[in-house]
Amino acid sequence: MIGIAIFGYGYWGPKLARNFAGLPDVRIVAIADSDAAQRALAAREHPAARIAADAGTAIATPGVDAVVVATPPAQHRALALAAIAAGKHVLIEKPCGASLDDARAIVAAAVAGGRILMVDHTFVFAPAVEVLASITRELGELIYVETVRTNLARFDAALGVVRDLAIHDLAILDHVLGRAATLTAGRNRRPPGEPEDFAFLALDYAGLPVHLHVNCLSPVKIRRMTIGGTKGVAVYDDVEPVEKIRVYRRGEMPAAALRAGYRSGAVTSPVIAAEEPLARLAAHFVQCIITGTRPLTDGASALRVLDVVDAAERCLAAAIR
């Protein structure tokens, strides 16, 4: 039986607790939140758990094997380091830390302590993304990638859209492409000192050009990723209720020839399992604890993603001076 403690019971904490509670051989041992109303909610939803106002009390609860950090990013470093020092495995809400230095400190502590560290990049565990990763290997030589994530979204205005929203697409690309990324350009428009609410990023993934657009001002909800190769194009549309992935096939030919004219081929849409990504993530974390397996979204992947986020934020800040 794996005992879980949840730090933070605001927006995301209850969702995580629900998914962990639904797993066999897992129990919610403790929940900590500084807000009395959220503690009352936690007590109603998980009456068998110890409800605490501080993380220290939750960590010290007997039977806690792992800690789930679902607090604002500014608290991630202190809470994760305290949990690791207490010998607990850690699942931490994205971003891994409020800064790249915070994330590096957390990753280093987990490595030194021999603890499992996993970052909650939920979209990586979406069944459609798993299928997309497999299909991408069938597209031949990759030519380009375009991603768009827009709508009047709920996002953390203190972070800005790059750290709060673009990080989703960067995590997906890190998993699907398996290549290191370099930022080549970034554009937006905002008052100096204010978090960005839209951004256009140009990236290079080992020679593969990638264009990423995030926008929380648009009234149109789009969550689309297009991956083009010499054998076809895969379009992943997360807003689409049924055919989330469409694959447009064509015979392999040089990229220059593809620009000569329009060529059509077979269009297929693979079956996507109807599974909740967060449930898959929770199960993966528990399995990693039991087997000692390296998580799919481990500390190393989190640092790769945050390195791009950090570069993008610095680029955007310099562009508006």
Token pair 């790249």: residue: 100
Q: What are phi and psi of 61, to 5 degrees?
A: -65, 130
Q: How many residues does the chain have?
A: 321
**What per-residue confidence (pLDDT) applies to 195?**
73
263: part of which helix (H) or strand (E)?
none
- In whole angstroms, give the CA distance from residue 188 to residue 193: 13
Rounded (10°) CA dihedral 103, 294, 301, 271:
-130
Q: What are phi and psi of 195, to 5 degrees?
A: -65, 145
**What per-residue confidence (pLDDT) applies to 218?**
86
Spell out the per-residue pLDDT of the chain, length 321, in tens: 899 999 999 989 999 999 999 999 899 999 999 999 999 999 999 999 999 999 999 999 999 999 999 999 999 999 999 999 999 999 999 999 889 999 999 999 999 999 999 999 999 999 999 999 999 999 999 999 999 999 876 656 667 889 888 999 999 999 999 998 999 988 877 766 677 788 999 999 999 999 999 998 889 999 999 999 999 999 999 999 889 999 998 765 555 555 555 555 678 889 888 899 999 999 999 999 999 999 999 999 999 999 999 999 888 887 654
Rounded (10°) CA dihedral 186, 316, 226, 92:
140
Q: What burial class does residue 230 get, using C-beta atoms within 10 Å of its C-beta: 0-12 exposed, 13-18 middle, 19+ buried? A: middle
**What per-residue confidence (pLDDT) applies to 319?**
66
**What per-residue confidence (pLDDT) applies to 321?**
47
Domains defined along the chain, listed by start = 2-115 (3.40.50.720), 125-277+308-319 (3.30.360.10)
E strand spans, the chain: 2-7, 26-32, 50-52, 66-69, 89-93, 117-120, 142-150, 181-187, 198-205, 208-215, 222-229, 232-237, 245-249, 267-268
Instruction: Check if the beta carbon of residue 206 is closer than 8 Å to that of residue 180.
Output: yes
Residue 109 tokens read as: 């502590």
Instruction: Count how many Cα atoms sit within 13 Å of the Cα of residue 310 in the half-sphere of its side chain.
Output: 16
Cis peptide before 73 (omega within 30 of 0): no
**What per-residue confidence (pLDDT) applies to 191?**
65
Token pair 């409800």: residue: 51
